[in-house]
A and B are shown apart, each in its own frame.
Chain A
Amino acid sequence: MTTGFGRMLRKEDQRFVRGQGTYVDDVHLRGMLHGAVLRSPHPHARILSVDTVAAEAHPKVKAVITGETLNERDLAWMPTLAGDTQAVLATDKVRFQGQEVAFVVAEDHYSARDALELIDVEYEPLPAVADARRALDDGAPLVRDDHPGRTGNHIFDWESGDAERTDRVFRDAEVTVSQDMLYPRVHPAPLETCGIVADFNRVSGKLTVWATSQAPHAHRTLYAMVAGLPEHKIRVISPDIGGGFGNKVPIYPGYLCAIVGSGHGARRPRRVQRRRAADQVPGRVLRRVHGLLRPGGGALPGDRGVHQQGAGRGGLLLLVPHHRGGLPGRADGRRARLRARPGPGRTAHAQPAPPRAVPVHLPDRLGLRLR
């Protein structure tokens, strides 16, 4: 690769082109067991019963963990990076399609997957809401009734930037436009799916995990919070990572199941590798985008400001460009809960949509033709 600074050779390429990378799926510990996650087919449903008898009778199954198992050990809920909580395994009800309901530990991953089909979950489907705007309506199905006193799906309002200056610039503008934009909910999809190998040594009390993580230090803190271990007893190893784009920052319920499983029953490490379909839960995000022309300026699409956006997703706060084209900007929004999977941040994706929308739509409204 040649850059302005001369030729750069990446040290990892020598291994990668020879097939000698070490991704988490290449980490193999002696006696390792394999985990698989049973997921909800319903977007919103009450769990009436979970029957694991047949799965536990499978000759290669070592353990079946359910929300009830975790609840008994106060491990059914975990913190999220957005300051919220999410279920590790569902207890009372499932709140999004694909939610984790049970976890099987078996001698090999084919057997673990076989055993998923032996688990019988009885659901009572509930009304679901799939649109962030409808989620805020009166009478919308309440997703998080596990929070005492909560009566709606509105989580919080947020704003950042200089409101006064931005308002003044918009007020004085020669022309302003406002455009509602809907675009699909996104979830990063690196080629390597999420995965973990967890090894808890009950004698030393130390936990070692190999995880495809972009944020091993944050993972260690979160595992310490959930597992009640001091951080110095936890070692998180990020081997080669097959892409990330933001989704390998948070921890996932399957990771905690693997960790719980590694300290549970037989003293053997556990592996979980998530299947591709687990990431693909559709949804939509709404943003309202405002643009303006600077007073006295020419009608140039380059003179623009990005002002406001409202988003409805369950992950990290979106980063907003505050100063674009030399103008102040401001961002605010309401955060609504809907029945989509709690999502991670999405590197680089959240930012381009409004700046791109404004130069496209602003000239259109003004009857201008872009060069």
Chain B
Amino acid sequence: MRVAVTVNGTEYARDVEPRLLLIHFLRDELGLTGSHWGCDTSNCGSCVVWLDQRPVKACTVLAAMADGRSVRTVEDLERDGRLDPVQQGFIECHGLQCGFCTPGMMMTARWLLDRNPDPAEAEIREVLSGQVCRCTGYENIVRSVRWAAEHAKDAG
């Protein structure tokens, strides 16, 4: 079937199997490999992208469901050569080790900060509670998001 999706501001149209998952559409059809395929069961959140401005787990969304809609992935966080404060925060606060969960974590964090520029630690933890990190123990991820909140203007 024909699927047309606007990804990071560019429209892409592809003929795909109706059952193709969005994560595989992004990775295998478009070559956007920043979003990862982790658990395949909607548990880990390493595949989180935005679908029409909301974070979704792309391993449990069909590419067909994104037809006519817009998707934003980690590749779109950096703008005009400037890192998003969330990206800079993860570097500054050692919010990642292996980096596998990081794109999904950052997409959810960006969504949160767009709605609440000054979230408390408890709110950050709640918003990220659907995503798994095996390296950091989450402390540094929470610090990274707080860093981004506190440096909203001066990243890059």
Contacts and interface: CB of A to CB of B under 8 A. Distances in A.
- Same complex for A and B? Answer yes
B83 interface: yes
A245 B78 contact: no
Interface stretch (A86-94, A154-162, A185-193): A185-193
Contacts of B39: 191, 276
Nearest to B144: A17
A243 B44 CA distance: 13
A19 B104 CA distance: 10
Contact of A14 (B41, B91, B100): B91
Contacts of A202: none
Give the one of B20, B36, B37, B106 with max A CB within 10 A. B36
Contacts, number: 99
A243 B38 CA distance: 11
A64 B36 CA distance: 28
Interface string A169-192: 000000000000000000001111
B55 interface: no
A242 B78 contact: no
Interface stretch (B27-35, B60-68, B111-119, B120-128): B27-35
B90 interface: yes
A1 B121 CA distance: 19
B132 A191 contact: yes
Given A17-B90, A19-B75, A276 B40 contact: yes
B34 to A, nearest CB: 2
Interface string B19-63: 110000001000011111111110110100000000000000000
Contact of B91 (A13, A19, A21, A276): A13
B33 A26 contact: yes
A243 B100 contact: yes
Given A13-B96, A191-B100, A240-B99, A18 B33 contact: no
A210 to B, nearest CB: 14
Main secondary structure of the interface of A (DSSP, over half): loop
A9 interface: yes
A20 B35 CA distance: 10
Given A17-B90, A19-B73, A242 B17 contact: no
B13 interface: no
B96 A190 contact: no
Nearest to A108: B28
B40 A275 contact: yes
B2 interface: no
Nearest to B99: A16
A242 B100 CA distance: 5
Nearest to A14: B91
B71 interface: no
A12 interface: yes
Contacts of A18: 34, 74-75, 77-78, 83, 87
B96 A192 contact: no
- What 8 A-B pairs are tightest by C-beta distance, nearest first? A19-B34, A16-B99, A242-B100, A1-B94, A19-B74, A17-B87, A26-B33, A191-B100
28 contacts: A1-B93, A10-B91, A10-B94, A12-B99, A14-B91, A17-B77, A17-B83, A17-B88, A17-B99, A18-B75, A18-B77, A18-B87, A19-B34, A19-B35, A19-B73, A19-B75, A20-B34, A23-B100, A25-B33, A25-B36, A110-B19, A191-B39, A191-B46, A191-B134, A192-B100, A273-B37, A276-B38, A276-B39
